[in-house]
A and B are shown apart, each in its own frame.
Chain A
């Protein structure tokens, strides 16, 4: 049963802790108050981010609340005025020693071969206080040796001390109660149901919080001993949530990521994709040397040769066709410093404004910067309403999903979801408004309309809308999580809906853009029409005079426009900065034609991808954990990235590549180090003014949110115009509207090059509601004929109750059926016809 809201810590009181009077907060747990005052109380089941259960009993201490001292679990006890606590009394020590002995009687003392050895609270406690000789002469419990409970996690029951951390995490935090206790008493064990593995996107957290070595992760089992590991704190760039991590390595190899508790961001959690993506840092196929195409083939080359060759291409394009013939796509994978360097190279040196870090699947930069912004904490603050109008956060921004889930279940936040299919949040949403693709704006309009409207909108019935309106009317701020729910439809409807929602009083927005540092890239100018610091070309030109050789005169093209121009032969040179349009652009046909339509592609990347393998010059880039700098998460929070290992071969950091290219073009970008760039950003980018100092004086773990103070100049400068909604196509009874989202595990680099995850992508299939599925008269997994605007293919079809009638779902970037093959980016909405191979048609 869901408990009441999280404990609200308010007010001050005084308790006596080991003879000293100390302050405590009302509602604060004794164990936490003690810790704050430097008194460590041993514990196993207590975890500050989960509801206390008081099971292990290790934290019992003597507490006197006026009726004489009694032993109380400090993890369950809230501080009360005048409480007298003795964590060191004889009674306390005897009790704690007793508990430790109990825990050890069935625990194999196999520390030397245990992954947890060296960082195990049980081991530490035992060394510090444990009984010397065992008084337990009976035989210990015996269990099967480690059993896999999922693809990523192994369970060794002999080591388990039944602290309920993993099981609580699975149920309370992740909402995936796939592991649970089984049996009773001394036979209690952690268990999965037969044939239902612990397939949770968050399973790795259980390994991290297991206080003994009962849960281990396959990707780093036996890889290293904790005392061999060296670590730095950094920020995960697998998606834009920006979870804080400790990057651990041994002998120049990254071996593990461990979640770090950043209060405003990830609370210590990581998703499995982020956690296990470390494998792709070490991948065998990493690019370690530059490649230059000679005689039709990419061959290894020296850096000097590769840089010269790239510069020559750029120079000749400039000379022959002017800067408008050059396009730069990508940058969301970079550090802020590298993004700035590339912006300076592209806009300030080459003079082109055809620069875009997004790949046609995001939001216009004006929208990102123009709407009032909210932090994750603001979105999740108790008492408000959250509208999620965007992707399935569980799939695309997993730890944001955890924060939202917590807010709804524990802090009374009302959640309204506006989406074309059900999502990971639907089950806990106050109102889940599942609408027809392309009719987002209708739903938004209905939502801000008067109560009692009594009409359906966009396929959402009036009753559901009424519930949603009531949620908003219940008061408190409204926070919108805004992003693209489907890339198979024009962004204009999303923009229109956002604009409508922004009319609700006290509304602000959290931009649910997906790629790691997309926010930093936009902020620092990797977007058409913008310059570093959230300003327009005209608004920022003055700032940069003296720093940049030039600034483009007029706004350039975004990625879709660039690819279209390229396909039509108007773009001569395309620079891909860690971008792979063939995999990531929504319309693969256009991407293919574009890459074929340019004269030369210059690519920097960590791996050779479908797109970069078409390049004339490939420059190997240093990746995560190999570079230092800063990154910006979806809130605009800037935090420090640290280098832990050296890049493979001669791979170099992206900012240095930009610098070298500039130098080869005869321009000195003016920096010799990451620090130099940060300094320049701090003065050149209005929204980032004072950033270097602010970072230096802030906590590394939490970073700082830009702009550092007041309204950003951008707020004033960047107002966006709402595009008129593309006219909706009439609904045909024989057609299905396509909805395209992403799964956490796809064929992208992080998963593809991490052996532990390569089996996890679900694979592509066309997903239909049971009704449409039955109309086709097919069986689960059968091949059907899918008639898309650009092509007709055969693809497997499955039932998915999340997809409403009349729509068809397809995942992006999966083997089997890739949505990018179906999407026609020129159409406002991709509509499919589906036929069974024996001729039946389906639609609604």
Chain B
């Protein structure tokens, strides 16, 4: 089955210019799921979502309904935190959902709070997204006024405040425990899991569900149409549809909602309805299948389906749904540096291997590119990587607290494994240039 046959689930209103308003949303079935849910028990709503194989869209791909069930019974209050910090390089979809269909997200938030029993929800929107903040603020204001959020929603005994919270520029805050720290007004540094699994000990040490914007945007549809309908789409555990941003060296870069699990990388990169092929019809050198943290894929991976398990087994991940295509002209050493520099820049600094290691990696790469490479540098790159992520395997092991540190290792191991020659060439040139310099005789004395 190809994508064209499947109607979009979460981007269905993107073409409507007034989709972000309450009237626009209501005109297209908005808040019907909420009304329906309020006539059901919270447990029934939770079960519906659990039945639907709704894998988290934030990166790790953990089933949302299962996560909701992890709150320890009888422990109150519980909080919901919406992860709208979208910052993984290559990723662009949560912002669209927040700007273009904020009510869909709000409805998803309300459904989750109702099902899980969260007394308050926090919508953490990335700081740099001014329009998304404005749209969500406006949508929340309308929804509050209409009695859809706040006290006694739709006249029921369901009451919840949804608080819009802005971030302020720090990629690491996308990591859920760092997000919670940030929401507590702290420096956004991850907590250790164990013991701080948010569902058990999250915001203010209370049970907390952290879900991605796209994940929650799926929930109204699931409640309206049922888990069975949702599970009819997709393959294996990857059900429903999913948004992918295809960027880089493609003719028609864009964000596409496609059927999850069945569509292949080749489809989405080459099909004219999607990215439409490589710029200048050049060859693919490599592509990143799931955001900057993911190990790279190559030509031979093009026919893999966009299915979580399959991609995991092939040694990478779908991560945040960001496909970045590099054509044959790409300077992989520079591409690699760009990615490593990102992680070094965004390291929170809490743990030694990431704070010191990623910076060191960046400096070695910079040296190689600027003609200061040494023959030992490639082994050094790998050994430093190994000290951050022992064994340099996938899924990564880590000496760090969170996966950010090991993320810097992905581009290095990908590029060095496949394109070691390009690194060596730079180093050889540098060595040659250095030895070619003939000693200059220095005359001591007056000039001229």
Contacts and interface: CB of A to CB of B under 8 A. Distances in A.
Direct A–B contact in complex, judged by CB atoms less than 8 Å apart: yes
A188 B344 CA distance: 12
A80 to B, nearest CB: 10
Contacts of A103: 352, 356
Contacts of A105: 356, 360
B398 to A, nearest CB: 7
B356 A188 contact: no
B313 to A, nearest CB: 18
A185 B387 contact: no
A188 B355 contact: yes
Interface string B187-205: 1000010110000000011
Contacts of A129: none
A185 B352 contact: no
Contacts of A73: 192
Contacts, number: 104
Contacts of A57: 351-353, 399-401
Contacts of B359: 185-186
Interface in B391-413: 397-401
A76 B386 CA distance: 22
B301 interface: no
A291 B352 CA distance: 61
B147 interface: no
Interface stretch (A90-98, A593-601, A671-679, A832-840): A90-98
B380 interface: yes
Interface in B370-384: 374, 376, 380, 384
Contact of B353 (A76, A102, A136, A184): A102
Interface in B340-359: 344-353, 355-359
A181 interface: yes
A145 interface: no
B184 interface: yes
B170 interface: yes
B363 interface: yes
Interface residues of A, number: 41
A1 interface: yes
Contact of A184 (B187, B192, B194, B367): B187
Nearest to B388: A98
A3 interface: yes
Contacts of A55: 350-352, 401
Nearest to A187: B349
Nearest to B404: A185
Contact of A70 (B346, B353, B355, B397): B397
B421 interface: no
Given A98-B387, A138-B363, A56 B349 contact: no
B370 to A, nearest CB: 12
A135 interface: yes
A45 to B, nearest CB: 9
B348 A184 contact: yes
Given A71-B397, A98-B386, A4 B352 contact: no
B386 to A, nearest CB: 7
Nearest to B181: A1
A162 B399 contact: no
Interface string A75-105: 0111000000000000100110111011101
Contacts of B397: 70-71
Interface string A672-709: 00000000000000000000000000000000000000
A135 B387 CA distance: 13
A57 B402 CA distance: 12
B438 to A, nearest CB: 24
A76 B398 CA distance: 15
A135 B380 contact: yes
Contacts of B399: 57, 60, 71, 95, 98-99
A537 B358 CA distance: 75
B390 interface: yes
A106 B356 contact: yes
Contacts of B350: 53, 55
In this complex, the member of A54, A98, A99, A137 whose beta carbon has the largest number of chain B beta carbons within 10 angstroms is A98
Contact of B387 (A77, A99, A186): A99
Contacts of A419: none
In this complex, the member of A95, A105, A184, A185 whose beta carbon has the largest number of chain B beta carbons within 10 angstroms is A185
Contacts of A465: none
Contacts of B398: 71
Contacts of B351: 54-57
A185 B401 contact: no
In this complex, the member of A70, A162, A186 whose beta carbon has the largest number of chain B beta carbons within 10 angstroms is A186
Contacts of B358: 186
A512 interface: no
A130 to B, nearest CB: 14
A2 B204 CA distance: 8
Interface string A491-522: 00000000000000000000000000000000
A615 interface: no
B154 to A, nearest CB: 33
A687 B220 CA distance: 76
A567 interface: no
A183 B189 CA distance: 12
A460 interface: no
Interface string A1-15: 111100000000000
A136 B397 CA distance: 24
Contacts of A2: 205
A674 B348 CA distance: 58
Contacts of A138: 360, 363, 367
Contacts of B357: 102
Contacts of B352: 55-58, 99, 102-103, 161-162
A1 B355 contact: no
Contact of B205 (A4, A58, A76): A4
A94 to B, nearest CB: 7
A1 B349 contact: no
Interface string A117-139: 00000000000000000011110
A186 B356 contact: yes
B349 A3 contact: no
B348 A76 contact: no
Contacts of B360: 102, 105, 136, 138
In this complex, the member of B349, B367, B400 whose beta carbon has the largest number of chain A beta carbons within 10 angstroms is B349
Given A162-B355, A185-B349, A102 B387 contact: yes
Contacts of B386: 94, 98
B328 to A, nearest CB: 33
B344 A185 contact: yes
A95 B351 CA distance: 13
B202 to A, nearest CB: 10
Nearest to B398: A71
A186 B347 contact: yes
A192 to B, nearest CB: 16
A101 B383 CA distance: 11
A842 B320 CA distance: 68
29 contacts: A3-B205, A4-B205, A57-B399, A70-B397, A71-B390, A76-B195, A77-B194, A94-B386, A94-B387, A97-B387, A98-B387, A98-B388, A99-B353, A99-B399, A102-B353, A103-B352, A105-B360, A135-B376, A138-B363, A138-B367, A162-B355, A183-B349, A184-B170, A184-B349, A185-B355, A186-B344, A186-B347, A186-B356, A186-B358
Interface of B: 170, 184, 187, 192, 194-195, 204-205, 344-353, 355-360, 363, 367, 374, 376, 380, 384, 386-388, 390, 397-401
Query: Top 5 nearest A-B pairs by Cβ distance?
Result: A98-B387, A188-B349, A102-B356, A185-B347, A185-B349
Interface of A: 1-4, 53-58, 60, 70-71, 73, 76-78, 91, 94-95, 97-99, 101-103, 105-106, 135-138, 161-162, 181, 183-188
Given A54-B192, A56-B352, A71-B397, 17 more contacts: A2-B205, A3-B205, A57-B352, A57-B353, A57-B400, A58-B352, A71-B398, A77-B194, A135-B376, A135-B380, A138-B363, A138-B367, A162-B352, A185-B346, A185-B349, A185-B355, A187-B349
